[in-house]
Structure 1
Amino acid sequence: MHNFLPIAYFQKNFVPFADAKISIATHALHYGTGAFGGLRGIPDPQNEKQILLFRLDRHCQRLSHSAKVLNYNLPPDKIQNVIVNFVKKNNPATSFYIRPFVYTSDLGIAPRLHNIEKDFFVYGLELGDYLSPDGVSCRISSWYRQEDRSLPLRAKISGAYITSSLAKTEAVESGFDEAILINSQGKVCEASGMNIFIVRNGQLITPGFDQDILEGITRDSILTLARDLEIPTVERPVDKSELLIADEVFLSGTAARITPVKRVENYELSQNRPITEKLRDKLTAITENRDSNYQDWVFPISVD
């Protein structure tokens, strides 16, 4: 059961969440011609009159790029302005998640992106841990990640998430928490909605953009932190067998944050995760605005 924030941004107005409804004939509902973002916010632990958003500028930029793929000009500053006002009107009292969404809002049929109306809405919900912080079990999905030559993977296109949905349900219904997708080259790609990292011999390894992954903002943050912490880091293809012998494996994403993997298929992984824990502790400190070196990653919003 989700606890949705009471106010949504819909059809260029702030309205009660319950009143933000679309028609069953909405184009994006039929053809997956939408794109979404997702970012977290928390009440500032040090200032009760302030809300903190993590890397708001990057999230707005990525959604703007996704909109561009849908032939929709939606500047990042417009997205940011709406999100800031959305937070002020809701003034959440606990950790929360914001879902901005761009979509073809016309009513009718025929898949296309030209000569069709587009729109943009925002809603949110209270959200603590998306996955268990103690670790998750993963299976290798029988569904393969799409290729960028057939679908624009640099954008978070809603229609692309059918593969993630199939993979996630397959994993859960076969006794696992999460799925790991393989790409068309037979290499490890990502989880159902998260990027993936492994640690081998003290080196942090993650698939690069040439492996058909999403350009994750949490992923980018982790790579930056690892380099600043002088953890050897490389972006390269990852083989399935490397998951089974890795010293550490973890997933990353806005909802998942940094989530350790404790088992892949029937292979138990070590519970000693020094690099995972070091990165997770650092990221938590930054999101709570307790690290002055990364204050530009945190966007404070003053609330009553």
Structure 2
Amino acid sequence: MAQPHSHVFLGDRLVPADQATVGVASSAVLYGLSVYTVFPVLVEGGSRHAFRLADHFRRLEESCKIIGIDRFAQEWDHSRFEVGVRELVAANAPADDVFVRVSVHVVESIPGTRVRGCAIQVSMFVYDAVPIVPQDGMRLKSSPWRRIPDNAIPSRAKVNGAYVNSVLAKQDAIDSGYDDCVFLDGSGHVCELSAANIFLVRGGTLITPDVSCDILDGINRRTVLTLAHEEGIPVRERTVDLTELYIADEVFVTGTSAGAAPVFEIDGRTVGAGIVGPVTTALRKRHAAALRGDTEHGWVTPLS
């Protein structure tokens, strides 16, 4: 089980991890009223860099705007965010790759079910970069729990409270002997995993549910789509049926905490030949290189 490293950024300063707390009467605790993002910090030869830092700040901005957390835009900008990240990483001085989780908590005490004008607190912590899914071939189960639709809790916002939906679905998969779930929408179309986007390959074409399919518009998803275009791989973003996954040549998933991980089995059916396919192999290689800063996209922010 991953644990926060020793120093946590909370509010406007660094504090020991065991002192980084949010009040039990806050909206963050009472209603799950926080939004968050997670990004990797890679360690190379003693130097450290963050991947797509500006995009992760933009995700926080957009999540707050969607939910109505207006104080974040008033109190934080990218410069302040980056300073906080730098202070946090420098204080913890990780020797290996880590993830950084940044949350915007609504900390107003017992405000009732409202959000505008409520006080916020930003937290940032570092933890070991341990993938949340197997990297050598995973087994998935379609979930009996349906993905929350965008018109109930917006999928584009990473809202902490919404992840109860993911917990129900993933726990069902684990209890059934699988690694993770495949979420379907109310019409039975494929959305994503509990915390990762999904891709399939058929006839050399890379296919993934589009952003209107109750999915998170994932930053690593966008990264893979960019890299696929550069590799000359045909790409289609569209509605996907569950049975298409059964007959796909390849399936893989993406996410900060999932990496780019191949899927070998879905609902007891072997995907393709049950090995990592050529498209997955090519995109995993490009994705790993992008994380390490081997591309010219401006995706890497040196931190030390």
Query: TM-score band (shorter)?
Result: over 0.9
Q: How much has 1:115 moved relative to structure 2?
A: 3.8
CA contact under 8 A between 1:36 and 1:102: conserved in structure 2?
yes
Local SS of the residue matching 1:223? helix
CA contact under 8 A between 1:63 and 1:76: conserved in structure 2?
no
- Tell me if 1:123 matches 2:125: yes
CA contact under 8 A between 1:181 and 1:192: conserved in structure 2?
yes
Q: How much has 1:124 moved relative to structure 2?
A: 1.4
User: Which residue number in structure 2 is paired with residue 67 of structure 1?
Assistant: 64
User: Which residue number in structure 1 is paired with residue 42 of structure 2?
Assistant: 42
User: Which residue number in structure 1 is paired with residue 149 of structure 2?
Assistant: 147
Q: How much has 1:84 moved relative to structure 2?
A: 2.0
User: Which residue number in structure 2 is paired with residue 8 of structure 1?
Assistant: 8
Q: Deviations over 1:149-194 (max 9, x none)?
A: 1222211011111110100100000110000100123210000000
User: What is the percentage of aligned positions where both structures have the same residue?
Assistant: 33
Instruction: Using the TM superposition, name which of 127-136 and 235-244 deviates more.
Output: 127-136
User: Which residue number in structure 2 is paired with residue 251 of structure 1?
Assistant: 253
Cα distance in 1 for partners of 2:242, 2:123 equals 39
User: Which residue number in structure 2 is paired with residue 242 of structure 1?
Assistant: 244
Q: How much has 1:109 moved relative to structure 2?
A: 4.8
Cα distance in 2 for partners of 1:211, 1:239 equals 11
CA contact under 8 A between 1:164 and 1:193: conserved in structure 2?
yes
CA contact under 8 A between 1:64 and 1:76: conserved in structure 2?
no
For residue 54 of structure 1, the aligned residue among 47, 51, 54 is 51
Q: How much has 1:226 moved relative to structure 2?
A: 0.1
CA contact under 8 A between 2:6 and 2:16: conserved in structure 1?
yes
Distance 1:292 1:254, change over 3 A: closer
Task: Note the residue ranges of structure 2 that are not aligned, 5 or more in a row.
Answer: none
CA contact under 8 A between 1:194 and 1:251: conserved in structure 2?
yes
CA contact under 8 A between 2:8 and 2:124: conserved in structure 1?
yes
CA contact under 8 A between 1:52 and 1:287: conserved in structure 2?
no
Moved over 3 A (4+): none
Q: How much has 1:243 moved relative to structure 2?
A: 0.5
For residue 281 of structure 2, the aligned residue among 277, 294, 300 is 277
Task: Note the residue ranges of structure 1 that are not aligned, 5 or more in a row.
Answer: none
CA contact under 8 A between 2:100 and 2:127: conserved in structure 1?
yes
Local SS of the residue matching 2:221? helix
Q: Deviations over 1:8-48 (max 9, x none)?
A: 1112111111111122222211111110100011211xx32
Q: For residues 130-279 of structure 1, what are the structure 2 equivalents within 5 Å?
A: 130-269=132-271, 270=273, 271-279=275-283
TM-score scaled by length of structure 1: 0.94
CA RMSD of aligned residues (A): 1.3
